[in-house]
């Protein structure tokens, strides 16, 4: 069997983690794991961890580390036969250390996007809450305005994505991400990409991954929903 590939994508809110993760998943056959989607699935399924997580999300807070690690790490341990890309985790140094003790990461992508760009993108971000599908009125608009392409259900705009909330979210990201980025830098697995357009950053990420992911694993792996 080809060597498995494990990667993490980091970046501030609106930096394109979800958009780029989808492209990577399609191009390289990695399973895209999103911590936010996973939390939402647990909330919908009313699991103990989901019920607890909801109380934090409703207050606009991060879910505590012990809840996140309890939710995610057992799932990762089960994914022994799949290459994956994790989006949204780790968000704290404690989470990064817990992840370290579960698996050896091959690569970390860090997105470095100017504040003005984030502000513009998020003020135009529309989400289908049930699936987590994301649209942007200029960049990837839905086929029917205000409606999800697949389900036809209404799209929503999060209060969190308004410019007033963004400054605080960005500050929190910077504070929490700094030690994580330093950790991955010291391990020699950090790759940072800067710019204002996903379409311009993508070719660099694509060529980096082409050198790292053996071609056999690109065909051996398949996309599966998270167990
Ligand atoms: N690794 C994590 N640690 C703590 N809380 C998390 C983590 N991942 C997700 N969450 C919780 O789930 C919520 C939704 O996560 P998700 O990543 O979808 O959206 P977000 O925080 O708006 O991020 P972004 O704007 O970067 O896409 C977060 O706001 C947070 O409360
Ligand atoms: N205008 C524009 N919007 C983009 C670009 N890349 C992503 N987006 C949109 O910006 C928003 C944030 O992207 P997303 O992938 O959700 O970022 P995340 O918060 O880091 O996961 C979404 O509405 C995307 O559709 C880009 O290059 N230009």
Query: Is 152 marked as binding a ligand?
Result: no
Nearest CA to ligand 1 atom 25: 13
Cα–Cα distance for residue pair 115/123, rounded to 1 Å:
12
Interface confidence (ipTM) of the complex: 0.96
Half-sphere exposure at residue 56, Cβ-oriented, CA atoms within 13 angstroms:
16
Contact 30, 85 (CB under 8 A): yes
pLDDT tens digit string along 66-92?
999 999 998 898 888 889 999 999 999
Residue 166 C-alpha to ligand 1 middle, in angstroms?
13
What is the tens place of the pLDDT at every residue in 34-44?
Answer: 999 899 889 98
98-117 mean pLDDT: 95
Instruction: Give the position, in ligand 1's atom list, of the atom nearest the Cα of 89.
Output: 1
Q: What is the DSSP letter of 155?
A: P
The whole-model pTM stands at 0.90
Residue with CA closest to ligand 1 atom 12: 36
Domains parsed from the chain with CATH numbers: 6-210 (3.40.50.300)
Q: pLDDT by residue (tens digit) across 116-169? A: 999 999 988 999 988 888 999 889 999 999 999 999 999 999 888 888 888 889
CA of 128 to the centre of ligand 2 (A): 14
Give the pocket of ligand 1 (CB within 6 Å).
13-14, 35-36, 39, 56-57, 62-63, 68, 88-89, 91, 95, 160
**Ligand number with the minimum distance to the CA of 142:** 2
């Amino acid at each position: 069997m080809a060597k498995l590939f494990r990667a993490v994508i980091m970046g501030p809110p609106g930096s394109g983690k979800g958009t780029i993760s989808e492209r990577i998943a399609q191009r390289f056959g990695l399973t895209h794991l999103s911590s936010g989607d996973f939390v939402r699935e647990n909330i919908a399924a009313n699991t103990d961890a989901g019920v607890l997580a909801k109380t934090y999300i409703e207050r606009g807070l991060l879910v505590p580390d012990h809840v996140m690690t309890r939710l995610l790490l057992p799932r990762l341990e089960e994914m022994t036969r799949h290459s994956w890309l994790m989006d949204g985790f780790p968000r704290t140094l404690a989470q990064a250390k817990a992840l370290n003790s579960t698996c050896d990461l091959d690569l970390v992508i860090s997105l470095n996007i100017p504040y003005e760009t984030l502000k513009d993108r998020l003020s135009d971000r529309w989400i289908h809450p049930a699936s987590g599908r994301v649209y942007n009125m200029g960049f990837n608009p839905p086929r029917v305005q205000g409606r999800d392409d697949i389900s036809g259900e209404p799209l929503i705009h999060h209060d969190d994505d308004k410019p007033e909330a963004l400054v605080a979210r960005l500050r929190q990201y910077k504070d929490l991400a700094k030690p994580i980025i330093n950790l991955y830098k010291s391990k020699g697995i950090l790759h940072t990409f800067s710019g204002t357009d996903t379409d311009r950053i993508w070719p660099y990420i694509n060529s980096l991954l082409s050198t790292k992911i053996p071609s056999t694993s690109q065909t051996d792996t398949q996309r599966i929903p998270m167990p």
